[in-house]
Structure 1
């Protein structure tokens, strides 16, 4: 019997939108995001800088990422609330030190950034068959017959975030090679069922399309497929500021594909 591999392909499409969602900025950040703050030092040569937050608990409500004595400071805001971020430039060449203080108010809001996996069509349906199926060699052998291509689409959407920011997620498609006992499965032409998708700014969703050749199960009798569950699982959703996916409960979407019979072509005496 001619050896055929079931082919799993994942295609990615995009949906662009222009409407405004909540903005995740340095003065109105989401909890869990990291923002960069910058000043320009004075022209006095002998000065030092010191960044601080005047209220809240370090490590619990906010954390500085990296140094706090340069012209730039990176702050991860952890909990909702209102904070004052300040930087003090102090002279080291005179006494008293003649400090200058600059402050900015930061209002941190609860994280609503959510990456959602969803089905596009019915959760349970039949595999695709090109009826009537043609017996290519008129020998009652299914190995070179084309039953059809079964396709399922998913959307992965970002809601509640700042649409002006890029975002990304990892995905994994359940290995239908395991359930079908097929030795080779390809995703976008590569032997991998997992990956990372980086989404451009002003893009609300991605379309992921999974497809495979119906009844090309090399371990089945006449290529017969079993019923197949194809699950798309997303993880590590975040925006460019590191704002994490706030709801893991909607990160899995599963199709059940009921097999069509792998009936052979009709032969006669």
Structure 2
């Protein structure tokens, strides 16, 4: 009798005689901020920025590289560099393999050499589809090797960050990457080379506490969450309400932690201008 009752409720909830509009999957996307439905082709033309409210959709590393680099100029390095499972963390290897199949990436960062309007750069782009862009051994090693490649070839360095922080499945090994990447960037700085850190949503944890905030120039996308611990954790710890907009890129700009908040549609032109100034004074 109880089963029959649930069956009747299910019929009442789902039995809708109104014809449904058949919309192909992926044709329209909803803006997370203003909730407006946007035709995907229109969104692509604006580099995944909502024309109604300016919300910046999260994008993948391959999309970012395609938007930024001259066509056919990007050459990936260390693609096959992957981490291990130092703690024998339950299910970790299986999760990594599944993500590699789903994303086409081997790790949470893509590194390589490319050109931006003809100017050669060492470029790293993180991808939050891969374990939320968390930094384990492989991510730290790829970033470090990219920094040294920049030093070796005397190239300006640009890293786009998006990360939930250090990768808990690798324990202390992941935390060691904070020191390793920072030490490499200290040498890069002594060589007098340019490092531009470009923060995107979200940049948190061990990544924000290491290479993300060490740029000679620190740029950020509008509305990006940037910080170490998340706002809910901070509020629960200090038992106080945080200021409006706390840990957004605009808040950090106001307090001197970020040099400029940059609309994605201006990303390539601004980076070109900075690189031209740098190349001109070398």
Name the TM-score, length of structure 1 as normaliser: 0.19
More helix by share: 2
Name the TM-score, length of structure 2 as normaliser: 0.19
More strand by share: 1
